[in-house]
Amino acid sequence: MKIEIGQLAPDFSLYNTEKEKVTLSQLRGENVLLLFFPLAFTSVCTAELCAVRDNMKIYESLHVKPLGISVDSLYTLAKFKQEQNLNFSLLSDFNKTVSKSYGSLNETFGFEMHGVSKRSAFLIDKEGIVQYAEVLENAGKQPDFEALQVKLRGLEK
């Protein structure tokens, strides 16, 4: 399914690396940035998530809660988060249901892997409405963080 700007974001519940269930609808009242990424420990994914880590003060000042999502297990994501000193939650979509519902699932990926998340960014406002949607077909590219930050600054705090 393709996610459109202005639609209600599909709700979901996934476990984070601390083994706590995170439900999107329970985050209403907060702006949420969902960052789907293909695989932990890969170069572009590491660069992308470390850039979010290094710019966390910007996201905090704009009252945005980043959440990283991949199909990796929560144990793999916990190790990745620890090694990269990431300061935001990573969620495991091991069963691929959320990636699929956001139109962010590669049927085939490198090395004949099936069902890996596409690199994607979705900004969801306090009411649960999608304000920004970017799904990349090329896993070697990162979301347009400049365009995303412009949109972030336009949200009511």
Residues β-bridged to residue 75: none
Catalytic pick among 45, 67, 86, 124: 45
With H, G, I as helix, E, B as strand and everything else as coil, classify residue 122. Answer: strand
Compute the distance between CA of residue 6 and CA of residue 13 in angstroms, rounded to an integer. Answer: 21
Residue 131: both structure tokens together: 């304000």
Task: Find, among 101, 132, 129, 131, the residue nearest to 118 by Cα.
Answer: 101
Phi, psi of 136, deg, nearest 5: -95, 130
50 belongs to the catalytic site: no
List active site positions. Answer: 45
